[in-house]
Chain A
Amino acid sequence: MLHEFTKGLLKENPIFIIMLGLCPALAVSTQVVNALGMGAGVIFVLLGSNIFVSLLKDFIPEKIRIPSYIVIIASFVTIVDLVMQAYAPSLSRNLGVFVQLIVVNCIILGRAEAFANKRSLAESILDALGMGIGFTLGLLLISLIREVLGAGTITLFAVGSFDGVIRIPWLSSFPARVIGLATGALMVMGYLKALFNWLETKKEQSRQRDAVRSGL
């Protein structure tokens, strides 16, 4: 059962392995705080839609299941959008249309269609949490690389006298601005995917070597 939770974190990471939901991943990864906000939104919507789809799976007719899932997802996206506008207006402004675009994020519809409509409630909840956290971790990795190299800062939430921005001594005076721009986002994604491919082949090779050794 726990496997349903952990698989989303690394082995089936939505961003780097399944490669779904890339549009928001690249667009909002300019600052760490945006990545966290987006991640929280996606976790909420994914959890809500997985729970509802799993509960309603016996009532939704096969033929109209996709439109039904879309309506469920859109309701949760509207909740996130309105709550964010009310309680985190600056985050809502930074994320712009990408909050509403969670509705077309393939991960959410993908999990409803591939997982939640045939599994139990508990499994669906674990799957949603794992996938959502995996998505957030991926987003966090991209945004950390982009913000640290591209601006020399790490922007978090402002608390009390702390303005929420960590400045990295040398880098913040000489940032490589291009990494914060569109070019940087696409390149960082390309290099990270290459890194994941390389790690995958490494693991595959060592597994084969082990198999050969145990065969002897």
Chain B
Amino acid sequence: MTYIGIIITFVFISNFILTQFLGLCPFIGVSRKMDSAVGMGFAVIFVMSMAALATWVIYHLILVPLSLEFLQTMTFILIIATLVQFVEMVIQKISPPLYKALGIYLPLITTNCAVMGIALIAVRSNYSALESFIAGFSAGVGFLLAILVMSSIREKLDTEWVPKPFRGIPIAFITAGLMALAFMAFDKALLKNLLG
């Protein structure tokens, strides 16, 4: 698949949240306020691109030559956990303002299914190193897009009257459902039309 194809696929057609349900916990949990949603979105883009690349390197240069592919799950989760810690330390050192903005979201990302998901999907799709990185980056962009739209809707919803049992999480899920309905317009046929 071409690079543009990968980008369109992961941002729109198989958007991680709205079609694959990966990363749903932070999506519902951190989408109350726009600025925290943006912070989380950028932290996820950063970690997902790095994780996709790092897991590719470890999988293809260490696990495959030693035929240890069955250790995939364990290595990937450890790589991701280490990477998140490392990224947190580096950001704290070189850019305190950025750390202040992203810091609290970084630890949450370790258990974000989306990061582990992109690592596993990139391996299953036999992507090259650059393709994995682009897939990770665009899946992160897709996450940012979804959480940004969601948080702006929820900020509006706060001032509306909502039946009591639906307040908070239930209405967020129903909103997400309607967003997913809109994203159904992006399907494989669109990709074919765009790229011929």
Give the residue of A23, A74, A100, A103 whose beta carbon is less than 8 angstroms from that of B21: A23
Residues of chain A within 8 A (CB-CB) of B115 are 104
Residues of chain B within 8 A (CB-CB) of A195 are 165
Evaluate contact between B77 and A182: CB separation under 8 angstroms.
no
Question: How distant is the Cα of A148 from the Cα of B18 in the complex, in angstroms?
Answer: 22
Given A82-B70, A183-B181, A194-B170, A100 and B78 touching (CB < 8 A)?
A: no
Evaluate contact between A101 and B117: CB separation under 8 angstroms.
yes
- Interface SS of B by simple majority: helix
Which residues from 167 to 184 on chain B have a C-beta closer than 8 Å to any C-beta of chain A?
A: 167, 169-174, 176-178, 180-181, 183-184
Question: How distant is the Cα of A97 from the Cα of B117 in the complex, in angstroms?
Answer: 7
Evaluate contact between B173 and A190: CB separation under 8 angstroms.
yes
Residues of chain B within 8 A (CB-CB) of A101 are 22, 113, 116-117, 120
Evaluate contact between B25 and A186: CB separation under 8 angstroms.
no
Question: How distant is the Cα of A74 from the Cα of B78 in the complex, in angstroms?
Answer: 9
Evaluate contact between A26 and B117: CB separation under 8 angstroms.
no
Is A137 located at the chain interface by the 8 A CB criterion?
no
Evaluate contact between A81 and B164: CB separation under 8 angstroms.
no
Question: How distant is the Cα of A184 from the Cα of B20 in the complex, in angstroms?
Answer: 13
Which residues from 60 to 102 on chain A have a C-beta closer than 8 Å to any C-beta of chain B?
A: 66-67, 70-71, 74-75, 77-78, 81-82, 97, 100-101
Given A101-B116, A186-B180, A22 and B25 touching (CB < 8 A)?
A: yes
- CB B76 to nearest CB in A, in angstroms, measures 8
Residues of chain B within 8 A (CB-CB) of A186 are 173-174, 176-177, 180
Evaluate contact between B25 and A23: CB separation under 8 angstroms.
yes
Evaluate contact between B177 and A78: CB separation under 8 angstroms.
no
Evaluate contact between B21 and A26: CB separation under 8 angstroms.
yes
Closest chain A residue to B115 by CB distance?
A104
Evaluate contact between A187 and B117: CB separation under 8 angstroms.
no
Is B121 located at the chain interface by the 8 A CB criterion?
yes
Evaluate contact between B166 and A194: CB separation under 8 angstroms.
yes
Closest chain A residue to B85 by CB distance?
A67
Is B128 located at the chain interface by the 8 A CB criterion?
no
Residues of chain B within 8 A (CB-CB) of A189 are 173
Per-residue CB contact flags for chain B residues 11-30 toward chain A (1 = under 8 Å, else 0) read 00000001111111100100
Extra contacts, 12 of them, besides A101-B113, A182-B18 (Cβ < 8 A), are A23-B21, A23-B25, A24-B113, A74-B77, A103-B73, A105-B113, A182-B21, A182-B177, A189-B173, A193-B170, A197-B164, A197-B170
Spell out B's residues near A (CB within 8 Å): 18-25, 28, 70-74, 77-78, 81, 110-113, 115-117, 120-121, 124, 163-167, 169-174, 176-178, 180-181, 183-184
Which 4 A-B pairs have CB atoms at the shortest separation, nearest pair first?
A190-B173, A186-B177, A187-B177, A190-B174
